[in-house]
A = this chain, B = another copy of it.
Amino acid sequence: MGKQMTEMLKGTLEGIVLALLTGNPAYGYEITTLLRGQGFTEIAEGTVYALLVRIEQKGLVDVEKRPSEKGPPRKVYSLNEQGKKELDEFWNTWSFLSERLEHLRKEGK
């Protein structure tokens, strides 16, 4: 992964995952696949699992264990109320930053 991208993902990857989970419960391996499909081709698997541990500990998601046809049981994550609030705040923070940057880009300065 490019170094710039790695740094830029800090803080945004969590929001991206929360957004992916909106109305769409998913498990770790699946989320990694989704991300790669969205163009984040070099996302490290370990990164996703560590992030999931974090958002679970922060109480942003509910977790349910389900058997898999092939492989170990899946841990299915779904966004709860607190997670939705966090996602709202994320979009606010993102919007602010995004607007500032678009402004800077247009200024050419």
A: residues with CB less than 8 A from B are 2, 4-12, 14-16, 19-20, 22-24, 38-40, 89-91, 93-94, 96-98, 100-101, 103-105, 108-109
Contacts and interface: CB of A to CB of B under 8 A. Distances in A.
A12 B19 contact: no
11 contacts: A2-B89, A5-B11, A7-B10, A8-B10, A8-B11, A10-B10, A12-B97, A16-B101, A23-B109, A91-B105, A98-B98
Contacts of A105: 19, 91
Task: List the number of copies, as a whole number.
Answer: 2
B109 A16 contact: no
B108 A22 contact: yes
Interface centre among A14, A16, A97 (most CB of B within 10 A): A97
A42 to B, nearest CB: 12
Prevailing SS type, chain A contact patch = helix
Given A5-B97, A22-B108, A24-B109, 11 more contacts: A7-B10, A7-B11, A7-B14, A8-B10, A8-B11, A10-B10, A12-B101, A16-B100, A23-B108, A38-B103, A38-B104
